[in-house]
């Protein structure tokens, strides 16, 4: 994917950036560029030709215009917490780093809106809104550091999506610079906007359609009460069935998270939390009015009792609540103690298929001789199988990636998707060819061209080229519908 | 017929594309009044109707676009569920495809989300006659650009909707409607203040000095909110909100022009002359009567929103709020890519 920039091209790009007025901060020394050589998708790294760190929207526009004139790719980056390689650099491209644009421009308590620059960390929006009794609902686990611009670019999720939606449901307006350097003002303070819903396209566009320079976010009132309970099960299957039973009873919990034995053991070793000994744990959170929440919690307890639960712990206060969440929130850190390396997947499946798909995932793990742990958003059917490997052992990374691909295919086969919240990036390009057919991939490229005709913005990410899909031989036959035979295979 | 519907539809679109002959997509025909021009041979899609998949525990419903809204709501009600955006239909024959295409959301919109927020996936036939599927049938999905949500509010100009998957929600057990006598400015202040509190609000509507407020949720939550807010409980609440959603209230009667101003919820009262009905917690202001288009647009912009000539009046002057040049550029390219021959509902969205 990465052509190495010719020396001339690099000189031209650096000269163009140096000529910008007011001057913009540019990093060109190789040793300082190391900081940007990868995001949290650590399997790939690359040194960009330069990094540029604007302070204002005007600078972003001028940077994109200057680089577009030269045909130099622009890879935008926020905090670099993405785990699909959306911000993996290109050797022939410039990193556009937005972390200096981190002002909260306004918190309008009456209108329940916050307007922020793209580099503001997610959690700071909620901190700034808290005095008004408000908060920003999307809460990816990286929220302390991950930036709003990145959250929008990836349409980030979190643990409360079933009830409160993804990022796309909580963004009112976005300002973005398109691939021609034009400022797009999309959405607004009103509850809809004229024309096509371009906001839907920009959310989750992985830096391909525009560089986000400002966002207006919808804030929600803090619920009056929240209750959290932890339920232990003797089998993964019974835990998965309990999830369906709760939702089937008309309860929409604020969160339902699941952890399997591998994860429970890792958490216990790492944090010594005194978790119940179980094959699976469910963490269920309900919120709403004070009386309502107590009623809902009682209802959930009754349902769990009918689903073979072996132990239920209910948090009595905020401290106990935090304790119950500790295992879930610390799970990924704990997992790092299992093996030197692990690789987190992100498929979503219809919830009813959870028991079967989990069983197949464990079987695949046995087949590949790799340990897999599962900690995930069970209420959304959004799975995060973690595949453990040792990169020091020859071939193990490749084997883990192959196993990951198989898991994603399993998700597609069960009517799901290859990514629920992490994005495609460079990681899942190949599986995109399985989930979508030629016509759909072509339509994605049409959308890309509408915003970025020259393909300057984060090229090679999010959507595979038709040529690559044909090379992989993976164009998909779905629902018995044969891919369009009239479209030439490259 | 159903088995062949999509291939036949695709063939017809291809044929029209080759001849550059316009097609006017029509479901129940209940929203012919809405949008700019109606042009071309009728492409009747009401026949492609029925539920494709519905599993209440998944909270996901997939329907053929010609399915009547009433049929969908009946099937959901049988399982204690609902489409939380309360799709307005404007007539018994209204189809879900038409409501999605026209981007219509009902009184619950500010509290639950808009039609696009509940769209999980769409299957379309684009202007080249290609049968394409975007999104999916799961609640969390970020694979590929979100073309499925793009179809909500595209008025069929980018593709003919054939199947749509929605997220559905449980229907809350309790509901109450409260009335308050309030002037417009006081109403805007109150509904915004209440919207910032953890109350089970599900709709607001103000006209002629009376604010009606709907509470929906758990019985205990509704009772607690009723005690906190005061007001007078009105007995015929459900009928009122249905009348509002379907525009059957007296305010909407008659043939005069109806302007729709979608503005910031906190925007101060907009003085335009004709009477107004204000819903969506201050965000949606219906103006009943003839006003000059330029004046409506200027007033809406000042209130940080946009104005649409929703019904009646002079449609030739343009129905929708004009787009900024940078956005119009993107719209033109999307239209040219999805419908290169320009045959799908041409002119329904003014220039697209």
Q: What is the pLDDT of residues B142-161, one digit of tens each?
A: 999 999 999 999 999 999 99
Cis ω for the linkage preceding B113 (within 30 of 0): no
Region B238-243: mean pLDDT is 97
ipTM passes above 0.95: yes
The answer to whether B114 contacts A191, with C-beta atoms less than 8 Å apart, is: yes
pTM above 0.90, yes or no: yes
Lowest-pLDDT choice from A330-339, B7-16, B340-349: A330-339
Give how far A234 is from chain B: nearest CA, Å.
Answer: 23
pLDDT of B176 above 60: yes
Give how far B320 is from chain A: nearest CA, Å.
Answer: 7
pLDDT of A485 above 80: no
Closest residue by Cα to residue A347 from A283, A285, A288, A431: A431
For chain A, where do the domains classified as CATH 3.30.43.10 start and end?
Answer: 7-97
Partners of A178 on chain B (C-beta within 8 Å) are 326, 330
Residues 145-184 of B with CB under 8 A from A: 145-147, 149-150, 152-154, 158, 169-171
The residue that leads in pLDDT, A476 or B288, is B288
Task: Give the span between the Cα atoms of A385 and A375, in whole angstroms.
Answer: 7
Give the CA distances from residue A486 to residues A87, A438, A439, B7, B321, in Å, rounded to whole numbers and listed in that order: 35, 11, 11, 15, 40
Q: Could you give the angle at the alpha carbon of B58 between the alpha carbons of B54 and B60, nearest 5°?
A: 50
Partners of B195 on chain A (C-beta within 8 Å) are 112, 221
Which burial class, exposed, middle or buried, applies to A226 when counting CB atoms under 10 A from its CB (0-12, 13-18, 19+)? middle
Task: Give the span between the Cα atoms of B171 and B112, in whole angstroms.
Answer: 12
Task: Give the span between the Cα atoms of A54 and A38, in whole angstroms.
Answer: 20
The answer to whether B134 contacts A440, with C-beta atoms less than 8 Å apart, is: yes
Partners of A424 on chain B (C-beta within 8 Å) are 142-144
Partners of B57 on chain A (C-beta within 8 Å) are 244, 247-248, 351-352
* Torsion sign (Cα): A212, A209, A178, A202: negative
- Residues with Cβ within 8 Å of B80's Cβ and at least 6 positions away in sequence, in order, are A250, B56, B170, B171
Please tell me the predicted confidence (pLDDT) of residue A490: 32
Give how far A381 is from chain B: nearest CA, Å.
Answer: 8
Give how far A250 is from chain B: nearest CA, Å.
Answer: 5
Region B227-248: mean pLDDT is 96
Written out in words, the top-level CATH class of the domain with range A7-97 is alpha beta
- Residues with Cβ within 8 Å of A267's Cβ and at least 6 positions away in sequence, in order, are A259, A273, A275, A327, A330, A331, A334
Written out in words, the top-level CATH class of the domain with range B2-170 is alpha beta
Interface test with A, best of B108, B144, B169, B351 (most A CBs within 10 A): B144
How much of chain A exceeds pLDDT 70, in percent?
95
Partners of A188 on chain B (C-beta within 8 Å) are 264, 304-306
Task: Give the span between the Cα atoms of B105 and B114, in whole angstroms.
Answer: 6
Closest residue by Cα to residue A343 from A409, A268, A266, A396: A396
Give A473's pLDDT tier (boundaries 50, 70, 90).
Answer: low
Please tell me the predicted confidence (pLDDT) of residue A1: 42
Any A CB within 8 A of B14 CB: no
Partners of A382 on chain B (C-beta within 8 Å) are 139-140
Smallest Cβ–Cβ distance between A110 and the set B105, B266, B330 belongs to B266
Q: Which CATH number fits domain A104-221: 3.40.605.10, 3.40.50.1220, 3.90.1150.10, 3.30.465.10?
A: 3.30.465.10
Region A94-114: mean pLDDT is 98
Lowest-pLDDT choice from A167-176, B202-211, B261-270, B309-318: B309-318
CATH superfamily of A225-413: FAD-linked oxidases, C-terminal domain (3.40.462.10)
Residues 238-297 of B with CB under 8 A from A: 262-266, 280, 283-284
pLDDT of A335 above 80: yes
Which burial class, exposed, middle or buried, applies to A137 when counting CB atoms under 10 A from its CB (0-12, 13-18, 19+)? buried
- Chain centroid, CA A464 distance in Å: 18
Give how far B337 is from chain A: nearest CA, Å.
Answer: 6
Contact between B268 and B276 (Cβ < 8 Å): no
SS3 A342: strand
Which burial class, exposed, middle or buried, applies to B185 when counting CB atoms under 10 A from its CB (0-12, 13-18, 19+)? exposed
pLDDT of B29 above 80: yes
Please tell me the predicted confidence (pLDDT) of residue A487: 33
Region B72-79: mean pLDDT is 98
- Residues with Cβ within 8 Å of B92's Cβ and at least 6 positions away in sequence, in order, are B28, B68, B70
Q: What is the pLDDT of residues A173-195, one digit of tens each?
A: 999 999 999 999 999 999 999 99
For residue B104, what is the nearest residue in chain A, using CA coordinates? A192
Any B CB within 8 A of A248 CB: yes
Task: Give the span between the Cα atoms of A110 and A124, in whole angstroms.
Answer: 19
The answer to whether A415 contacts B138, with C-beta atoms less than 8 Å apart, is: yes
For chain A, where do the domains classified as CATH 3.30.465.10 start and end?
Answer: 104-221
The answer to whether B140 contacts A349, with C-beta atoms less than 8 Å apart, is: no
- Residues with Cβ within 8 Å of B101's Cβ and at least 6 positions away in sequence, in order, are B25, B151, B152, B153, B154, B155, B156, B161
Q: How confident is the prediction for chain A on average, in pLDDT?
A: 93
The answer to whether B109 contacts A191, with C-beta atoms less than 8 Å apart, is: yes
Give the CA distances from residue B175 to residues A168, B168, B200, B201, B214, in Å, rounded to whole numbers and listed in that order: 29, 18, 9, 10, 7
Please tell me the predicted confidence (pLDDT) of residue A332: 83
What letters, b where the CB count within 10 A reaches 16 and e where it falls short, cover A373-387?
bbbbbbbbbbbbbbb
Phi-psi region of B271 (alpha: psi -120 to 50; beta: other; left: phi over 0): beta
Task: Give the span between the Cα atoms of B134 and B145, in whole angstroms.
Answer: 9
Interface test with B, best of A133, A200, A448 (most B CBs within 10 A): A200
């Amino acid at each position: 994917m990465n052509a190495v920039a010719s020396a001339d091209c690099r000189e031209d790009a650096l000269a163009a950036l140096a000529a910008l007025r007011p001057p913009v901060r540019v990093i060109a020394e190789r040793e300082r560029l190391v900081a940007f050589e990868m995001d949290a998708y650590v399997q790939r790294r690359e040194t960009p030709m330069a990094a540029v760190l604007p302070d204002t929207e005007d600078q972003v526009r001028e940077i994109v215009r200057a680089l577009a004139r030269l045909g130099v790719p622009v890879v935008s980056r926020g905090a670099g917490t993405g785990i699909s390689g959306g911000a993996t650099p290109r050797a022939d491209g410039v990193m556009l780093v937005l972390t200096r644009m981190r002002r909260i421009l306004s918190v309008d308590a009456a209108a329940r809106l916050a307007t922020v620059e793209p580099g503001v960390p997610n959690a700071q929006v909620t901190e700034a809104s808290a005095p008004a009794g408000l908060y920003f609902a999307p809460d990816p686990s990286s929220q302390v550091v991950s930036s709003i611009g990145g959250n929008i670019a990836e349409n980030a999720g979190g643990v409360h999506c079933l009830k409160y939606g993804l990022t796309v449901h909580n963004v009112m307006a976005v300002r973005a610079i398109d691939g021609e350097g034009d400022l797009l003002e999309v959405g607004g303070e009103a509850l809809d906007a004229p024309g096509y819903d371009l906001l839907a396209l920009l959310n989750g566009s992985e830096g391909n359609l525009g560089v986000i320079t400002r966002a207006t976010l919808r804030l929600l009132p803090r619920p009056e009460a929240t209750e959290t309970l932890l339920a232990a099960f003797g089998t993964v299957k019974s835990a998965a069935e309990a999830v369906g039973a709760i939702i089937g009873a008309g309860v929409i919990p604020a969160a339902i998270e699941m952890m399997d034995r591998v994860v429970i053991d890792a958490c216990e070793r790492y944090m010594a939390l005194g978790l119940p000994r179980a094959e699976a744990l469910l963490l269920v959170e309900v919120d709403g009015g004070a009386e309502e929440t107590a009623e809902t919690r009682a209802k959930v307890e009754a349902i769990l009792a009918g689903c073979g639960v072996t132990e239920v712990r209910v948090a009595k206060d905020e401290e106990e609540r935090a304790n119950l969440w500790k295992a879930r929130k610390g799970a990924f850190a704990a997992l790092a103690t299992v093996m030197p390396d692990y690789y987190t997947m992100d498929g979503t499946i219809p919830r009813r298929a959870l028991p079967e798909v989990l069983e197949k995932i464990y079987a695949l793990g046995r087949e590949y001789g790799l340990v897999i742990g599962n900690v995930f958003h069970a209420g959304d059917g959004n799975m995060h199988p973690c595949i453990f490997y040792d990169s020091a052992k020859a071939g193990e990374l490749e084997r883990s990636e192959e196993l990951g691909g198989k898991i994603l295919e399993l998700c597609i086969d069960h009517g799901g998707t290859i990514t629920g919240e992490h994005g495609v990036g460079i990681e899942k390009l190949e599986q995109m060819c399985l989930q979508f057919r030629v016509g759909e991939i072509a339509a994605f490229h049409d959308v890309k061209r509408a915003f970025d005709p020259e393909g300057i913005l984060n090229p090679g990410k999010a959507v595979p080229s038709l040529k690559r899909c044909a090379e992989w031989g993976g164009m998909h036959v779905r629902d018995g519908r044969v891919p369009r035979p009239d479209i030439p295979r490259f | 017929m159903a088995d062949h519907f999509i291939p036949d539809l695709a063939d017809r679109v291809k044929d029209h594309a080759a001849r550059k002959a316009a097609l006017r997509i029509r479901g129940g025909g209940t929203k012919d009044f809405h949008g700019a021009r109606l042009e071309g041979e009728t492409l009747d899609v009401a026949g492609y109707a029925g539920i494709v998949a519905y599993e209440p525990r998944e909270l996901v419903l997939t329907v053929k676009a010609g399915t009547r809204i009433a049929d969908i709501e009946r099937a959901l009600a049988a399982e204690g569920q609902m489409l939380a955006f309360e799709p307005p239909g404007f007539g018994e024959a209204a189809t879900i495809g038409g409501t999605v295409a026209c981007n219509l959301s009902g009184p619950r919109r500010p509290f639950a989300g808009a039609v696009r927020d509940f769209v999980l996936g769409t299957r379309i036939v684009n202007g080249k006659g290609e049968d394409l599927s975007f999104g999916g049938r799961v609640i969390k999905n970020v694979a590929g650009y979100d073309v499925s949500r793009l179809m909500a509010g595209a008025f069929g100009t980018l593709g003919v909707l054939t199947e749509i998957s929605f997220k559905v929600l449980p229907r809350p057990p309790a509901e109450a409607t409260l009335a308050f006598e309030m002037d417009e400015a006081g109403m805007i202040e109150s509904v915004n203040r209440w919207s910032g509190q953890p109350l089970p609000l599900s709709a607001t509507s103000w006209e002629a000095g009376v604010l009606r407020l709907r509470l929906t949720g758990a019985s205990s939550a509704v009772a607690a909110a009723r005690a906190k807010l005061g007001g007078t409980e009105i007995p015929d609440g459900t009928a009122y909100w249905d009348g509002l959603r379907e525009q059957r209230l007296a305010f909407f009667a008659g043939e005069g022009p109806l302007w729709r101003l979608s503005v910031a919820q906190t925007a101060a009262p907009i003085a335009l002359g004709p009477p107004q009905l204000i819903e969506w917690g201050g965000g949606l202001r219906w103006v009943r009567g003839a006003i000059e288009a330029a004046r409506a647009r200027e007033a809406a912009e000042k209130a940080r929103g946009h104005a649409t000539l929703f019904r009646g009046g002079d449609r030739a002057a343009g129905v929708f709020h004009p787009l900024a040049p940078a956005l119009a550029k993107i719209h033109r390219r999307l239209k040219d890519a999805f419908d290169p021959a320009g045959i799908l509902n041409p002119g329904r969205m003014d220039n697209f």
